[in-house]
A and B are shown apart, each in its own frame.
Chain A
Amino acid sequence: AAGVIQSPRHLIKEKRETATLKCYPIPRHDTVYWYQQGPGQDPQFLISFYEKMQSDKGSIPDRFSAQQFSDYHSELNMSSLELGDSALYFCASSLKWEGLPYEQYFGPGTRLTVT
């Protein structure tokens, strides 16, 4: 079965650079979530989209922005990168089922290293 695809899997950037992370949800899934997991920490919710509209927002820095496109893939854009942005970034997708969100399927993550 198709899974959530994230690219790139690894990314190395320098401070103050920009980065773009991509997420391709499971076919027919209409909701995308982004999470950040720092070293030794638990995943933290950043932002979500439902039917290409932002549906919820968590502790996402103003330097970060995201969007969901017409084909439902999503991109997380990160500017003015800081050392503290080094983390695993997970994308998850789900399908609204009878009006309720169902389980989320997570991708393998993108490991971002800022030097």
Chain B
Amino acid sequence: DAKTTQPNSMESNEEEPVHLPCNHSTISGTDYIHWYRQLPSQGPEYVIHGLTSNVNNRMASLAIAEDRKSSTLILHRATLRDAAVYYCILRDELAGGTSYGKLTFGQGTILTVHP
């Protein structure tokens, strides 16, 4: 599986934008970029995913580099509730592939939000 590299931790102030980077230089053509987050004492939660184009949803935006070797999760206005571990995960969406469906969690980024 292609690997991702994220900073161990980041800090932000409430109501400020947060840009969480992820490097994935060995990404393959069939890898989607997924972001999940895990709030304290909870199960992981889906945030967003994309393939090549930038994506927006109600939770966040995903900016994908043109060469797809890196991406950035953007929280437009951080709240205290956004304090969590953020995971950038590559998932091979090729139907019938051996990594079909499962999420491989690596070391994520611990986001601290200050009031």
User: What is A's interface to B at a CB cutoff of 8 Å?
Assistant: 4, 31, 33, 35, 42-45, 48, 50, 55-56, 58, 90, 92, 94, 99-101, 103-109
Report the bound CA distance from A97 to B6 in whole Å.
29
Which residues of A lie under 8 Å from residue B42 when comparing CB positions? Answer: 108-109
Which stretch (B11-19, B65-73, B104-112) binds chain A? B104-112
How many A-B contacts if CB must be within 8 Å? Answer: 59
Among the interface residues B43, B49, B91, B104, which one has the most CB atoms of the partner chain A within 10 A? B43
Q: Tell me which residues across on chain A come within 8 A of B99, comparing CB atoms.
A: 56
Residue in A33, A43, A45 with the greatest tally of chain B CB atoms within 10 Å: A43
B43 near A101 with CB under 8 A, answer no
Considering the complex, which residues of chain B in the window 75-115 have a beta carbon less than 8 Å from any beta carbon of chain A? Answer: 87, 91, 93, 95, 98-108
Per DSSP, are chain A's interface residues mostly helix, strand or loop, or mixed? strand
Residues of A within 8 A of B104 (CB): 45
Q: In this complex, what residue of B is CB-closest to A6? A: B43
**Distance A14 CA – B105 CA, assembled complex (angstroms):** 29
What's the tally of chain B residues with a CB closer than 8 Å to chain A? 23
- B87–A42 touching, CB < 8 Å: yes
Q: Contact at A50–B43, with CB atoms within 8 Å?
A: no
CB distance A42 to B106 under 8 Å? yes
Q: Is the CB of A45 within 8 A of B43?
A: no
From B34, B95, B102, B106, contact of A99 by CB (8 A):
B95
